[in-house]
Every structure is written in C-alpha cells, then in structure tokens.
Amino acid sequence: MSTESVQFHHDADRLTHDLRHRALIQKALGGYYVKRDEQKAKYTDWQQARASAAAAKYEAVNHLDKYLVELSDKLAARGTKVFWAADGPEAADYIASVARDAGVKRIIKSKTMTGEEIHLGQALEKAGLEVVESDLGEFIVQLRGEPPYHIVFPSMHLTRGEIDETFQKKLGSPHADTPEELTMIARNVMRQKYCEADMGISGANFAVAETGHISITENEGNARLSTSLPRVLVSIVGIEKVVPKLDDLAVLLPMLATAGAGQNMTCYNTLLGGPRQPGETDGPTEFHVVLLDNRRTSLLADPEQRDALHCIRCGACLNVCPIFKNIGGHSYGTTYQGPIGSVITPHLRGLQSWKHLSFSSSLCGACHEACPVKIDLHHHLLQNRRNAIAEKPVWWEKPIFAGFAWFMCRPALYRFAAPLLRLGAPFLHAIRGKFFDPARVWTGTRDLPPAPPQSFKEYWRHRNAKR
Amino acid sequence: MKITLFIPCFIDQYYPGAGIGMVRILEKLGHTVDYPESQTCCGQPAFNSGYWDEARSVAETMLDAFRDAEVVVGVSGSCGAMLKVFYPELFHGKPREAEAKALAAKTHEFSSFLVNVLGVGDIGASFPAKATFHDGCHGLRELGIKREPRELLKHVRGLELVEMKEAETCCGFGGTFSVKFPEISTAMGEVKCASILETGAELVISNDSSCLMQIQGLFDRQGQKIKSMHLAEVLAHF
C-alpha cells in the first residue's frame, strides 16, 4: 500500500466513527439539498441545461489548442501578460518573479483551488512574501493551518464555536456569538489587508476565449476587491477553464451557482478584461494570467476520461457522495476531494499512489447524477481501477481472482462445491467478528445471513424431479 | 412467453427465496420459465476490483448459458446492470462483443420486466405490513428503475408503503467495497438504517438482495427487529 493509502485508511476510519462530524455534515448538507432543489425547479428543463453545459465544455476541452490560443491573443491585445506554466513550480516561480520585479511585499489572495493544487500560498511565503486569504472560509482554515475541507465550502467542518475560538486565539478578537459578528471580525482584518496589498491573486471560474475575459463568481465580494485594489494582479487559470463564447456563461454561471450552493446566481460576477487601460483611473497597472497545465494534458490524452476536464468545481458531487459525507474532506489528502478528486487525482499525481481513492467507492452513481456537466464520474472510478490493476496487479488479489474465475467458469464444479461452502455458515456464525474469523472484514460490524436449507439450483432440480 | 431466469450466485446460495418468488409470479402470469443450470456468477466482483480479464472469462460462461434465451429476466438490479450495462463495455473490442451486446439487449431486471414489458401492476399479492422501499443504486441509476417496484407494491393488499428520507442514498454495500473498506461501508449502512428506522416500518423491501444483506446484517447486529425481503418474495404472497 502506498503511504497515501495508509494515511487515507487511517483518517477515513477515524472520521467514520466520529458521530459529531457525521451529524454536522448531514445538517450542513441538509440545508443545501433544500435550496438546490428549489433552484433546480426553476429551470424549465434541468437535464437539457446539463446537456447544454456539457456541450459547451466538450467543445472547449476537445479544441483546447484553438481556444487557448484565442484566449491568450485576446488577453495580450489589451496588455495582459500570459504565461504558460507546465507545472506548479513553474507557475509559482513565475508569480514570485513578478512579485520581485514589481517590488511586492504583501499579497491578498481570493479563493483559488488551482492555487491550492500547486501550494501557491506556501511557495510565495517561502519566497518571503506575506500571503493572506480573503475568502472567509479559506481565511479561517488558513488561520488554523488546515487545507480546505471542501472545494466550495472550505470550512464546512467547523462550528460557529470553533471559528470563534480560532479568531480569539489567532486574532485576539473578543468572543462572538453570531455569524454576523464573526464576519465583522474577519472583515475588519481583511479591509486593512486589501489596502496594504501590492498584489492580488485570483483563480478563475471560466476564461472566455471569444472576448479574452477571466470570469470570477463569488458571494463575498472579496475576489472583486482582491482583483481591483492592488496594483499588480495575477489570475491563475487551469487550462480546462477556457470556454469558447461569452454566451456560454449564460448557462454555466447559473448552473454553477445552483449545483454548487443552491443559488439562482452568486452575488458577485466579475469579468476581468485586462490591466488599467489608457484614460482609466483605477484598476491594477499589471495583469498576468498564468495558464496552468500540471498534467491536465495527460487527462486530455485519455479519451475515456477526458470529460473529467469538464469539471467546473461546483462541488455537487461531493455534496451527494455518501463516502464524502462519512469520511469528510480532509481524509482524501488531496486538493480536490470527493468523487471528482478520486477520479482526477490519480491522473494529476500518480495512479499507483492514489488508486485507493478509486477503490474507495460503492459506485452508487449519485455523483454522476448530480454533476451539472455530466461527467461520467463513477464509471471513471471503474476505469481507474482497471488501469491500476492492469499496470500492477495486487500480489495477493491476483491469485484470488484467478481462482474465482477458474471456479466460476466450471458450472459443474460450482454446482457441487458451492453448497459445501454454505455448510460452513453455522461455524462462521459461531466465531463471527472474532480475531480468527476469516470473514471478519464483514462480520466485525455486520451479521451474515443464515444459510438457507437449499440453494436455488437445488430447488430447481427437486422441482423438475417432481414433475 | 418463454422466460429465462438469471439467478446470480449469491441469490442462488443465500437468497433462493427471491428466485423462487420470481418463478411463482411468472408462472402465475402464465409464462414458461426456463433456468439454464450452467449459469454461475456474472463476474462483477472481479470487474469492480479491476480484474477485467478474469471478469471476462466468467462473463463468457454467462454468454454461453444464455445463448439460446429469448428473454432473460434477472432478480438483482446490480447483477442485471452488470449484464445490461457493463458487459458491452467489458467486451468492447473483444471477439464476443456482439454476443455481449445481444445479451444486454434481451436482459431485464425483474420489476422493470413486469411493469414495462408485461404491463402488469397487480400480481394479486397480499402482505399486511408497514414497509419502506430501498432503491439499490445499480437498479436506480444504471437501469433507471424507480417507479416500477412502487407500482407493483402499490397493489399489494394490506401493505402500507412509507418512503424513507433519502431512499436513493447508497446503503454502503458496493460489493468488494464492503470488505475492502468495512469502516466506511458500515458508516454508510448505519446512516441508511437510521433512515429506515425513522419511518417506523417493520419491513424493508428492495429489488437487490445484496443491499438487504448489508442492511439486515447491520440491523441484526444492532438487535433491531426490522426484517428485510426481496420484492419478488413479497409479491409472491398470493
């Protein structure tokens, strides 16, 4: 087992026994389901909307060569510097060098999962820069030294009391009871940071090739401040974020809001078109867009799973995933949690190290059903399993499945031997859950069904004999 | 109509009642029932574990067993989905692809077959109980079966059907997942069992015995009195 897999088993097992965590997540998501369904009901045809959204992403992802160049040209035409980064270190080095050249000391960052993916914050801190998260949820987990718990709701695992405690400890703030008071504490800290920051860093929800715009959607207004106040602006954009036309946002933005947060539209929707233009009085004087590959092209090269690049990071698949709900976001040990994380992490970070995530699924398909861009998530988990085993079978499993196949390919043997296996049932029942019980992985927590007096095959034979 | 039964291995060994129920119902409706004894397992445990070569060789046994069947009706949504949805994928680009596709096309899950092919709603069953229905994920999402079992249960005399909260949430079985990740599987099952208990039902019905093995196994361990039955067993009470 890879070290990642050992860690996963350990963390997941711990969280499954944490009933407080289970109740907390169920309650948080219970509210989300109600709001999501209310919003979905406003669509004339949600399935048709899914098909349109998927079609827009399909077009983009299958013609990245065309749309990325178009995006880059359009951005450059208004004075934006575009940097193509092959991987995380290249992107982080570039951003650090931009900061150095512009004499930047302080950076304010709005939520970017792509930035999380390449540990951008840490890299810039190492380069001697101050980096502050401005998204409230991200700000809270940053104060706690934790990674985000969820793609969309980074601090969903925390209670109001825990947030209050964190603020008191880390910010020296007075005790606060209500969400409003807590938000005001964060706001007071952040307003100061916005004014002091020399550089803003944002992610991108979409990048429009047709017009050369970076689209950002948010509820707090922090991204708008982070991208308009500092004199230097950097947007880090995964290459799969490009969409062909501005019109595509007409379907993608509301669907992202509905699937992601149960909203009609998010509160603030911003299009960044470039740095301050001649004659303009405000806005950043420098604008850099970093287009990041970081092994997305290896996913692109896999026609079976290419549609995983459709992902708009709404988190809907996490919200319905019964595994996520029981093991929580941190157990995954990945930037992207839940079904989408289990699908893409093996591609982004190595199949053998991360294959356990694809096996840790009951393949229920709730993720695919919830996905607004129709990614075939649960089938991709099956394909990852197949690819992992084809590349490197598990040494003790291989003979078991070879034996299984040998046995099941011999109907006469099955007919004779299967009832013998059933005879062992009373014995298994007597030792159930004990250390030496061979079925302990099942019987540790669950009873086995009692063995019936006759199998169906025996019933069928007796019945035919009587006739 | 001559109907060929698909009885998956664990139904054969542990839940024959579901298969027997299906035989009684189909014969009551005036059909001829056939059961090729050479069928064993659909190969799903190997398939879901990533061992597709092994799964394919088992699946070939099934292609042989059902070669002459006109219509195949299976008693498990999960194993039915294996034949109907995953065989074509498993044999994609392989010599027996056409046979796999042909088997997929003539295979039906039991409740869907009764309602959508035979056009039957009322089997004439009576079963006085307060019950809730659990949707097995493969039946629900791979095969799109949701309305059919409810349509059949609606006509069962004396049966009061109460829907549970999140009936569509997975019970946590997931085949080999249940033993590879027993802690996660159990936690999911506990959530499911709590939803069932909340309804006040005395009986949980499903069209997948594997889900019921998980649910009943947890209830038994918890000392709960709730019982589980396959849809076909309930419908065979006439």
Q: Is B228 on the interface with A (CB under 8 A)?
A: no
DSSP secondary structure, A107-122, as one string = EEE---HHHHHTTHHH
- Closest A-chain CA to B192: A322
- Give pLDDT tens digits for B149-162: 999 999 999 999 99
Position A222 confidence tier, pLDDT thresholds 50, 70, 90: very high
- List the one residue out of A321, A456, A430 whose CA is nearest residue B230: A456
Write down the ipTM of this complex. 0.96
Q: And the tokens for B71?
A: 């219509």
**B42 and B96 housed in the same domain:** yes
Q: How many residues does chain B have?
A: 238
State how far the Cα of B185 lies from the Cα of A390, in Å rounded to an integer. 26
What distance in Å separates residue B45's CA from the closest CA in chain A? 9
For chain A, the average pLDDT equals 95
State how far the Cα of B78 lies from the Cα of B74, in Å rounded to an integer. 9
Structural domains of chain A, with CATH: 52-294 (3.40.50.10420), 424-466 (no CATH)
CB contact under 8 A, A442 and B142: no
- For residue A442, give the nearest of B41, B45, B178 by CB distance: B178
**B126 and B108 housed in the same domain:** no
**B127 and B78 housed in the same domain:** no
Residue A97 has what pLDDT? 98
- List the one residue out of A163, A150, A113, A116 whose CA is nearest residue A29: A150
What distance in Å separates residue B235's CA from the closest CA in chain A? 18
CB contact under 8 A, A386 and B50: yes
**B151 and B213 housed in the same domain:** yes
Q: How many CB atoms lie within 10 A of CB A148?
A: 26
For residue B188, give every residue at least 6 positions away whose Cβ sits within 8 Å of its Cβ, in sequence order, or none. Answer: A322, A323, A326, A362, B169, B170, B171, B172
Backbone angles phi, psi at A286, to 5 degrees: -125, 135
- For residue A408, give the nearest of B16, B20, B58 by CB distance: B58
- Closest B-chain CA to A359: B177
**B144 and B164 housed in the same domain:** yes
- Give pLDDT tens digits for A58-87: 999 999 999 999 999 999 999 999 999 999
Residues of B numbered 54-113 whose beta carbons fall under 8 angstroms of chain A's beta carbons: which are they?
Answer: 54-55, 57-58, 60-61, 65
What distance in Å separates residue B161's CA from the closest CA in chain A? 24
**B128 and B214 housed in the same domain:** yes
Q: Which of B82, B116, B150 is the last residue of a domain?
A: B116
- Give pLDDT tens digits for B166-182: 889 999 999 999 999 99
- Give pLDDT tens digits for A362-390: 999 999 999 999 999 999 999 999 999 99
Residues of B numbered 107-146 whose beta carbons fall under 8 angstroms of chain A's beta carbons: which are they?
Answer: 137-138, 140-142
Lay out the sheet containing B157-161: strands in order across: B157-161, B126-134, B203-206, B227-230
- Closest B-chain CA to A381: B48
> Which of A87-91, A182-186, A422-426, B158-162 bottoms out in mean pLDDT, i.e. has the lowest?
A422-426
Helix axes A248-261, A19-40, angle to 10 degrees: 140
Q: Return the ∠ at Cα A207 (arms to A204 and A210), rounded to 5°.
A: 165
Q: Which of B87, B116, B145 is the last residue of a domain?
A: B116
Q: And the tokens for A18?
A: 């944490």
CB contact under 8 A, B177 and A398: no
Position A141 confidence tier, pLDDT thresholds 50, 70, 90: very high
Residue located via tokens 């709900």:
A325
Measured CA to CA in angstroms, residue A305 lies from A312, A344, A347, A380, A426 at distances of 15, 9, 10, 6, 46
What distance in Å separates residue B169's CA from the closest CA in chain A? 7
**B103 and B146 housed in the same domain:** no
A56 has pLDDT over 90:
yes
DSSP code of A373? T
Tell me if B188 sits within 8 A of A326, measured CB to CB: yes
For residue A50, give every residue at least 6 positions away whose Cβ sits within 8 Å of its Cβ, in sequence order, or none. Answer: A255, A371, A372, A373, A374
What distance in Å separates residue B125's CA from the closest CA in chain A? 22
Q: Span A228-256, mean pLDDT?
A: 98
- For residue B184, give the nearest of A327, A389, A405 by CB distance: A327
A423 has pLDDT over 90:
no
**B149 and B109 housed in the same domain:** no
State how far the Cα of B18 lies from the Cα of A203, in Å rounded to an integer. 54
Domain count, chain B: 2
CB contact under 8 A, A389 and B191: no
Position A192 confidence tier, pLDDT thresholds 50, 70, 90: very high
A422 has pLDDT over 80:
no
Q: Is B179 on the interface with A (CB under 8 A)?
A: yes
- Closest A-chain CA to B141: A365
Query: Could you tell me the residue range of the domain that residue B104 belongs to?
Result: 2-116
- Give pLDDT tens digits for A285-336: 999 999 999 999 999 999 999 999 999 999 999 999 999 999 999 999 999 9
Q: And the tokens for B114?
A: 């009764």
Q: Which of B116, B148, B174 is the last residue of a domain?
A: B116
Position A427 confidence tier, pLDDT thresholds 50, 70, 90: confident
- Give pLDDT tens digits for B64-75: 999 999 999 999
Q: Is B223 on the interface with A (CB under 8 A)?
A: no
Side chain identity, residue A100: R
Q: Span B61-88, mean pLDDT?
A: 97
CATH number for position B197: 3.40.50.11810
Tell me if A448 sits within 8 A of A428, measured CB to CB: yes
Q: How many CB atoms lie within 10 A of CB B37?
A: 16
Position A436 confidence tier, pLDDT thresholds 50, 70, 90: confident
Residue B63 has what pLDDT? 97
A118 has pLDDT over 90:
yes
For residue A12, list chain B residues with Cβ-Cβ distance below 8 A: 181, 183-184
What distance in Å separates residue B152's CA from the closest CA in chain A? 24
Q: Is B49 on the interface with A (CB under 8 A)?
A: yes
State how far the Cα of A331 lies from the Cα of A327, in Å rounded to an integer. 6
**B61 and B12 housed in the same domain:** yes
- Give pLDDT tens digits for A13-49: 999 999 999 999 999 999 999 999 999 999 999 999 9
In A51-133, DSSP assigns E strands to: 81-85, 106-109, 130-133
CB contact under 8 A, B221 and A447: yes
CB contact under 8 A, B182 and A441: yes
Residue A420 has what pLDDT? 79
State how far the Cα of A381 lies from the Cα of A376, in Å rounded to an integer. 9
- Give pLDDT tens digits for A147-156: 999 999 999 9
Tell me if A106 sits within 8 A of A199, measured CB to CB: yes
Tell me if B223 sits within 8 A of B16, measured CB to CB: no
**B171 and B128 housed in the same domain:** yes
A451 has pLDDT over 90:
no
CB contact under 8 A, A447 and B187: no
**B89 and B137 housed in the same domain:** no
For chain B, the average pLDDT equals 96
CB contact under 8 A, A388 and B50: yes
Which of A21, A378, A445, A447 to mutate against chain B (most B CBs within 10 Å)? A445
Measured CA to CA in angstroms, residue B41 lies from A429, B11, B63 at distances of 24, 10, 11
Position B76 confidence tier, pLDDT thresholds 50, 70, 90: very high
- List the one residue out of B41, B40, B37 whose CA is nearest residue B4: B37
- For residue B12, give the nearest of A12, A13, A457 by CB distance: A457
- List the one residue out of A452, A425, A449, A419 whose CA is nearest residue A438: A425
CB contact under 8 A, A442 and B168: no
Q: Is A441 exposed, middle or buried (0-12, 13-18, 19+ CB in 10 A)?
A: middle
Residue A301 has what pLDDT? 96
For residue A3, give every residue at least 6 positions away whose Cβ sits within 8 Å of its Cβ, in sequence order, or none. Answer: A353
**B65 and B22 housed in the same domain:** yes
Residue A204 has what pLDDT? 98
In A49-94, DSSP assigns E strands to: 81-85
